[in-house]
Amino acid sequence: MHAIVDHIQSVDLKAGEATRRYLDTLTKPPGSLGALEDLAIQLSAITGELKPSVTPPAVIVFAADHGVAAEGVSAFPQAVTAQMVTNFANGGAAINVFARQIGAQVEIVDVGVASSLILPGVTSAKVRHGTANMVDEDAMQSAEAIAAINVGVAGVERAKKSGAKCIIVGEMGIANTTASSAVLAVLTGESVASVVGAGTGINPQQQTHKVAVIERAIAARNADPQAPLEVLAKLGGLEIAAMTGAYLAAAANQMPAIVDGFIASVAALIACRICPAVRGYLIFGHRSQEPGHDVALKVLEAKPLLDMAMRLGEGSGAALAYPLLQAATAMVAEMATFADAGVSDKAAP
């Protein structure tokens, strides 16, 4: 992990500025393409290029289980994680559909599913068979968290090698909104009640129980809020760690990463706490309905591209936002300038 962090440089603000100036030479009133222009500027800052390409994108879904599922914090049983991994491998999940729509390759990585099932089409990188129940003991050891981060780094490096120009990471792990809420509450100092939501669809009574479980775990683990790796190891998850590693690797390789919903944003926050320069490489795809997402977006000073009232995960909201990145790059690459098209520029005052 330390090796990858050493490779991360801040985004190239000069390249972004050059694109900002170029955008004003294109045949449109200055600034009229709004947030799409900001996106084009950010993509230039990330890649250092005036006319970068974000095609093809790659989707990597990290799957892992959570010991805290035993506390009854999800509407679904733990077995669903492994069952969904099979569904991903068969191409039947929402993320498979959206990935096909945007021409993305999909890699499914088992970084810590509890079951021992080995499936064709699933990359086996199991660090351990799910985390421990964070109410009783640390979710994982620091070395395991680092190993899971490295699984995420390796995933992005494989995607880059196969030609990917944009990274979308997703997750599957029953009870991972519980782990993410715990991590977020500790890292931000916000109350547990303000970050907890319904996840897969628990009722208000179950939600009160979920808050109590997280509060007990936070008190028992006593993680240092200034130590992101410690917070991740004690209260997080293996797939969350892998996503953190993926964002670090995207930044180290000057690749744009589209962040999905709540869980992805918590992983992104951990990456930014480990290395603040990562932030410039992140594009936030959508606003999830999970209430903690707004808290995470606020501390990351992020404005998501879409607001679709979604609360799925898997990378689904990031995949839906991807065509906007394509539009931003096509705008820069293909629009005529005032000079080229013989269109009169703004009248001099």
Ligand X SMILES: Cc1cc2ncn([C@H]3O[C@H](COP(=O)(O)O)[C@@H](O)[C@H]3O)c2cc1C
Ligand Y SMILES: O=C(O)c1cccnc1
Which residues are near ligand Y by CB under 6 A? 177, 199-200, 260-264, 288, 290, 293, 311-313
- Does position 178 interact with ligand X (CB under 6 A)? The reply is yes
Place of tokens 């799957």: 63
- Does position 139 interact with ligand X (CB under 6 A)? The reply is no
Which among ligand X, ligand Y, none contacts residue 288 (Cβ within 5 to 8 A by kind)? Answer: ligand Y
Instruction: Tell me the backbone φ, ψ of residue 37, rounded to 5 degrees.
Output: -70, -40
Measured from the CB atom, the residue of 77 and 163 that comes closer to ligand Y is 77
Which of the ranges 108-116, 171-179, 219-227, 335-343 carries the binding residues for ligand X, by CB under 6 A?
A: 171-179
Find the shortest distance in angstroms from Cβ 90 to ligand X. 14
Measured from the CB atom, the residue of 221 and 311 that comes closer to ligand X is 311
DSSP 234-257: HH--HHHHHHHHHHHHHHHTT--E
- Does position 199 interact with ligand X (CB under 6 A)? The reply is yes
- Catalytic annotation, pick one of 144, 290, 314, 334: 314
Find the shortest distance in angstroms from Cβ 13 to ligand Y. 30
Active site residue 301: no
3-state secondary structure 11-79: CCHHHHHHHHHHHCCECCCCCCCHHHHHHHHHHHHHHCCCCCCCCCEEEEEEEECCHHHHHCCCCCCCH
Which among ligand X, ligand Y, none contacts residue 311 (Cβ within 5 to 8 A by kind)? Answer: ligand Y
Query: 327 in the Ramachandran plot: left (φ > 0), alpha (ψ -120 to 50) or beta?
Result: alpha
Find the shortest distance in angstroms from Cβ 180 to ligand Y. 8
Which among ligand X, ligand Y, none contacts residue 57 (Cβ within 5 to 8 A by kind)? Answer: none
Measured from the CB atom, the residue of 65 and 230 that comes closer to ligand X is 65
Which among ligand Y, ligand X, none contacts residue 144 (Cβ within 5 to 8 A by kind)? Answer: none
By CB under 6 A, how many residues form the interface with ligand X?
18
Measured from the CB atom, the residue of 75 and 306 that comes closer to ligand X is 75
Evaluate the omega torsion of the peptide bond into residue 56 and state whether it is cis, within 30 degrees of 0. yes
β-strand pairing of 257-259 with 282-284: parallel
Give the CA distances from residue 348 to residues 341, 344, 345, in Å, rounded to whole numbers and listed in that order: 19, 11, 9
One of 52, 152, 245, 313 touching ligand X (CB under 6 A): 313
One of 37, 65, 260, 314 touching ligand X (CB under 6 A): 314
Measured from the CB atom, the residue of 4 and 94 that comes closer to ligand Y is 94
Would you say the C-alpha torsion 322, 325, 330, 336 has a positive or negative sign? positive
Q: What is the DSSP letter of 109?
A: E
- Measure the N-to-C terminal CA separation of the chain; round to a whole number of Å: 55
Which of the ranges 37-45, 74-82, 127-135, 139-147 carries the binding residues for ligand X, by CB under 6 A?
A: 74-82
Nearest in space to 59 (alpha carbons), one of 37, 88, 36: 88
Q: Which amino acid belongs to residue 251?
A: A
Using CB under 6 A, list all residues that contact ligand X: 74-76, 80, 84, 171-178, 199-200, 312-314
- The residues annotated as belonging to the active site are 314
